[in-house]
Amino acid sequence: MKKFKVFFNIEREEQWLNEQLQKGYRCTNISGLGIYTFQKTDKKYVMRLDYQDYLPKKKLEDYKGIYEDFGWIYINDSWLGGIRYWQKEEDDQNEIFSDRQSKANYYKRLMSYSFWLGMLCLAFSYRPYENSGLYHEGLWSMKGSLLLKAFLFETPFVLLKLAPALLVVFFGISFYKFYRKYSILKEK
């Protein structure tokens, strides 16, 4: 069974994946484009998502080695993001983090990820040489149905122009959410 789904929130993605596994599936593949492949199974599986930046080959081997010793199976990650998908058969050890410090560090990694993507989008949304409006200047002097048509035609391009700025807001909100969770875990 293949399902197509796009997530902008790692915790919601984890939750959704586990809902599918609870229905008697196990995940066999995740493509970076949002295609999740599942297979029917009689066993119960759980999935946990970790975030790690790019790991050089040696480090990736150490990282995977330790998880695999604990019975976790690596589902190939997307080439874009640093989300690492781990699946295993459900038993009495179903978590990948067992203390506050490591869970807080997980949110810290997510914070820096949101921060840098936000900064990248901010750099893209900065247009020093473009002081014209969002829409073509001649647009507002058009009349009636011509105005409407031109308006509808230009809107997708305007959204495209605005996309980096909208993403800055999105990553800013994500950053703040991760920061909240991080600081709650840091409080003793």
Partner 1 sequence: MKHKLLPLSETMHYILLALREPLHGYAVMQEIEKISNGAVILAAGTLYGAIENLSKHGWIEPVGNSGRRKIYRITAEGTAILRMEQERLTHILSLYEGSESNEEV
| Minimum CB distance to partner 1 smaller for 100 or for 127 | 100
Minimum CB separation from partner 1 for residue 182, in Å? 14
Rule CB under 8 A: say whether 61 interacts with partner 1.
yes
Interaction of residue 62 with partner 1, rule CB under 8 A: yes
Beta-sheet pairing, 25-31 with 45-51: unpaired
Is 70 a binding residue for partner 1 by CB under 8 A? The answer is yes
DSSP assignments along the chain, one per residue: -EEE---S-HHHHHHHHHHHHHTTEEEEEEETTTEEEEEE-SS-EEEEEEE-----HHHHHHHHHHHHHTT-EEEPPPSSS-EEEEEEE-SS---S--SHHHHHHHHHHHHHHHHHHHHHHHHHH--TT--S-SS-GGGGG--HHHHHHHHHHHHHHHHHHHHHHHHHHHHHHHHHHHHHHHHHHH--
Select from 62-70, 122-130, 139-147, 158-166 the region that touches partner 1 (CB under 8 A).
62-70
**In the complex with partner 1, which residue's Cβ is closer, 134 or 184?**
184
b/e sequence 18-51, b meaning 16+ C-beta within 10 Å: bebbeeebbbbebeeeeebebeeeeeebbbbbbb
Q: Is 39 an interacting residue with respect to partner 1 (CB under 8 A)?
A: no
By CB under 8 A, residue 86 contacts partner 1:
yes
Q: How far is the CB of 186 from partner 1 (least distance, A)?
A: 12
**Structural tokens at position 173:** 């909100």
Q: Which is nearer to partner 1, 36 or 72 (CB)?
A: 72
Cβ 49 to partner 1, closest distance in Å? 10
Site string for partner 1, 89-118 (x = CB under 8 A): ----x-xxxxx-xx--xx------------
CB of 117 to partner 1, least distance (A): 22
Using the minimum distance from each CB to partner 1, give the nearer residue, 8 or 70: 70
For partner 1, the binding residues (CB under 8 A) are 48, 50, 61-63, 65-67, 69-70, 72, 86, 93, 95-99, 101-102, 105-106
